[in-house]
Amino acid sequence: MKGLSVRPMTDRVRQTVFDILTNRIDWEGRTVLDLFAGSGSLGIEALSRGAAHVTCVDNSRSSLDVLHANIRAIGCADNVHVHQADVFWYLKHVKVGFDVIFVDPPYQLESIGELPARIARSSAAGIGTHVVMEHGRDTAVDVPEHLFETIRKQFGQTTVLIMKVISKPGAEKETEISQL
């Protein structure tokens, strides 16, 4: 993913996203996963609203340097865990679940459209997990309707998906087996 530019979520978009989420969840004690974390602004905002812990994942050394500086400046190191890793690798190997997942990938990321399905298959997301993903207006992102309730918001050239996991992949098979 080298060479993909960093493009943080704008203040206006971030405020709207947090307003929507605050009407749906109580931040107190929540665990948050910030994928393509960049400066960590989304995870840090969640902490400021009462989240208990944030895990940030990014593979860019320069982004992580900024993130670590922000964590030090705010004094929230005890509540933030940082992983330098490829997001797709992390989703495949993570063993814990989160209440809220932020996904703010570079718009040029070739596999951006696969992210909702990959997140749904991951242990990071369980039933009820809220997933917020930003992407370019002209980018095709497949959101499996049987896995997520979805709200789409347009902000100029930016689309924000606010999704809630309602089913996990393979859940249909488990139901069929249990009925036998």
Q: What is the pLDDT of residues 115-143, one digit of tens each?
A: 999 999 999 999 999 999 999 888 888 89
Model-level pTM greater than 0.85?
yes
Highest CATH level, class, for 11-178: alpha beta
CA-closest candidate to residue 145, choices 161, 127, 166, 124:
166
Give tens-digit pLDDT for 33-57. Answer: 999 999 999 999 999 999 999 999 9
- Please say whether the beta carbons of 20 and 27 come within 8 A: no
